[in-house]
Structure 1
Amino acid sequence: MSLAVVHSRALDALRSPPVTVEVHLANGLPSVTLVGLADTEVKEARERVRAALQTSGLEWPANKRITVNLAPADLPKESGRFDLPIAVGILAASGQIDLAKLADFEFAGELSLAGELRPVRGALAMALAAAHDDSTPRRAMVLPAESAQQAARVEGQRVHAARHLLDVVRALQPGESAEPLPLAQPQPEPSPAAWPDLLDVKGQAGAKRALEIAAAGGHGLLMIGPPGSGKSMLAQRFGSLLPPLTPQEAIESAALLSLHAQGSTHRWGERPFRAPHHSASAAALVGGGSPPRPGEISLAHHGVLFLDELPEYPRPALEALREPLETGKVTISRAARQADFPARFQLIAAMNPCPCGQLGSPLQACRCSPDEAARYQSRLSGPLLDRIDLQVEVPAVPLATLAQSPDGEPSERIAARVALSRERALQRQGVLNHALAGDALERHAALDAAAAAFLQSAAQRLGWSARGYHRVLRVARSIADRAGNEAIALPQIAEAIQYRRVLVLR
Structure 2
Amino acid sequence: MSATVPKAAALALLGLTGTPVMVEAAVTRQLPGMAVIGLPDAALAEARLRVRTAIAQAGLSLSSRFLTINLSPAALPKHGSSFDLAIALAALSASGEVPDGRLHTTAHFGELGLDGGIRRPAGLLSAVVAARELGFERIMVPESGRAEALLVPGIGVISAPDLAAAAAWHRGSPGRWSEIPGDRRRDDGQSGNGPRVSRALAEPDMADVVGQPEATEAMVIAAAGRHHISLSGPPGAGKTLLASRLPSILPDLTSEEALTASCIASLGGSPVTELIRRPPFERPHHTASPAAIIGGGDAAGIRPGAITRACHGVMLLDETPLFSSTVLDALRQPLESGVVEIHRARFRATFPAALQLVLASNPCPCGNADSPDPALECTCTPYARRQYAQRVSGPLRDRIDLSLEVRRVSSVVLTESCAVRPTSRELKDRVGRARALAAARLSGTPWTVNAQVPGNWLRGPAARLPRSHTAVLDQALGRGALTLRGYDRTLRVAWTIADLAGRDLPSRADIARALALRGGRR
Fold match by TM threshold 0.5: yes
* Conserved 8 A contact 1:120-1:263: no
**Equivalent position SS for 1:311:** helix
Q: Work out the CA distance in 1 between the residues paired with 2:351 and 2:473.
A: 36
Deviates more, 1:423-432 or 1:322-331: 423-432
For 2:392, the equivalent position in structure 1 comes to 380
Contact (CA 8 Å) 1:142, 1:160: kept in 2 or not? yes
TM-score, length of structure 2 as denominator length: 0.90
What residue is the counterpart of 2:56 in the other structure?
Answer: 54
Contact 1:446 1:487 in 2 (8 A): no
Matched, 1:258 2:276: no
- Is the CA contact 1:199–1:406 (under 8 Å) kept in the aligned structure 2? no
Q: Percent identity?
A: 38
Who is 2:141 aligned against? Answer: 143
Instruction: Indicate the larger mover: 359-368 or 213-222.
Output: 359-368
Q: Give the aligned residue type for 2:382.
A: P
Structure 2 partner of 1:87 = 88
> In the alignment, is the contact (CA less than 8 A) between 1:214 and 1:220 conserved in 2?
yes
Output the amino acid matched with 2:368. Answer: Q
Other-structure match for 1:408 = 421
Report the alpha carbon displacement of residue 38 of structure 1 after superposing the two structures with TM.
0.6
Alignment correspondent of 2:188: none
SS at match of 2:115: coil
Could you tell me how far 1:406 is from its partner in structure 2? 5.2
1:54-453 equivalent positions in 2, closer than 5 A: 54-61=56-63, 63-134=64-135, 138-173=136-171, 176=173, 180-183=177-180, 185=193, 188-264=196-272, 268-290=276-298, 291-363=301-373, 364-402=376-414, 405=418, 407-430=420-443, 431=447, 432-442=449-459, 443=461, 446-453=464-471
Give the TM-score, by structure 1 length: 0.92
Tell me, which stretches of 5 or more residues in structure 2 are unaligned?
182-192
Whole-angstrom distance in 2 between the partners of 1:121 and 1:414: 37
Residues 1:4 and 1:455: Cα distance change in structure 2 (over 3 Å): closer
2:496 paired with 1:481? no
DSSP-derived class of the 2:31 partner:
coil
- Change over 3 Å in CA distance of 1:266–1:200 after alignment to 2: farther
Letter of the structure 1 residue corresponding to residue 259 of structure 2? I
Question: Aligned-pair distance for 1:188?
Answer: 4.5
Is the Cα–Cα contact under 8 Å of residues 20 and 134 in structure 2 kept in the other structure?
no
Shift of 1:359: 1.3
Corresponding residue SS for 2:26: strand
**C-alpha separation in 2, matches of 1:166 and 1:12:** 29
Taking the aligned partners of 1:29 and 1:497, their CA distance within structure 2 comes to 77
What does the per-residue CA deviation read over 1:12-57, in whole Å, with 9 as the maximum and x for residues that have no partner?
A: 2322111111112233222221100111110011121122222333
Q: Which moved more, 1:419-428 or 1:161-170?
A: 161-170
Whichever residue aligns with residue 71 of structure 2, its letter is L
Q: Could you list the per-position Cα deviations for residues 206-263 of structure 1 after superposition, in whole angstroms to 9, with x for gaps in the alignment? A: 1101000011111100110111111111111101111111111111222222233342
Work out the CA distance in 2 between the residues paired with 1:53 and 1:15: 30
1: CA distance, partners of 2:197 / 2:469: 48
Q: Distance in 2 between matches of 1:223 and 1:55?
A: 60
> Does structure 1 conserve the Cα–Cα contact (< 8 Å) formed by 2:53 and 2:114?
yes
Which letter does structure 1 place at the counterpart of 2:504? E
CA distance in 2, matches of 1:48, 1:157: 29
Partner AA of 1:77 in structure 2: K
**8 Å contact kept, 1:52–1:111:** yes
Inter-partner Cα distance in structure 2 for 1:469 and 1:239: 27
Q: Structure 1 residue 132: deviation in Å? A: 2.4
Give the whole-Å Cα distance in 1 for the aligned partners of 2:272 and 2:396.
Answer: 34
Aligned residues: 499
How far residue 267 of structure 1 moved from its aligned partner, in angstroms, is: 5.5
**CA separation of 1:333/1:301 partners in 2, compared to 1, >3 Å: closer, same or farther?**
same
- Separation in 2 of the partners of 1:74 and 1:262? 30
SS for the counterpart of 2:369 is coil
SS, match of residue 18 in structure 2: coil
What is the distance in 1 between the residues matched to 2:312 and 2:198? 19
For 2:327, give the aligned amino acid. Answer: A
- 1:402–1:260 Cα change, 3 Å: same
Q: Could you say what secondary structure the match of 1:336 adopts?
A: coil
Q: Deviations over 1:33-83 (max 9, x none)?
A: 11001111100111211222223333344x421211100101111110011
Distance in 1, Cα, partners of 2:260 & 2:351: 11
2:207–2:421 Cα contact (<8 Å) kept: yes
Structure 1's unaligned 5+ residue stretches are: none
Q: Structure 1 residues 64, 503: CA separation in 2 closer, same or farther (over 3 Å shift)?
A: farther
Query: Structure 2 counterpart of 1:41, which letter?
Result: A
Which segment drifts farther, 181-190 or 316-325?
A: 181-190
CA offsets per residue over residues 335-384 of structure 1, 9 Å max, x none?
22222222111111211111111112234222212221111010000000
Cα distance between partner residues in 1 of 2:202 and 2:462: 35
| Alpha-carbon contact 1:2-1:26 (below 8 Å) kept | no
- Structure 1: how far apart are the matches of 2:159 and 2:263? 19
Q: Distance in 2 between matches of 1:434 and 1:460?
A: 24
User: Deviations along 1:250-306, whole A, 9 cap, x unmatched?
Assistant: 112222222333422876222111111111112222112134332211221111111
Greater Cα shift, 223-232 or 335-344: 335-344
Return closer, same or farther for 1:263/1:8 CA change in 2, 3 Å cut-off. Answer: same
Name the Cα RMSD after superposition: 2.3
Deviation at 1:99, TM superposition (A): 3.3
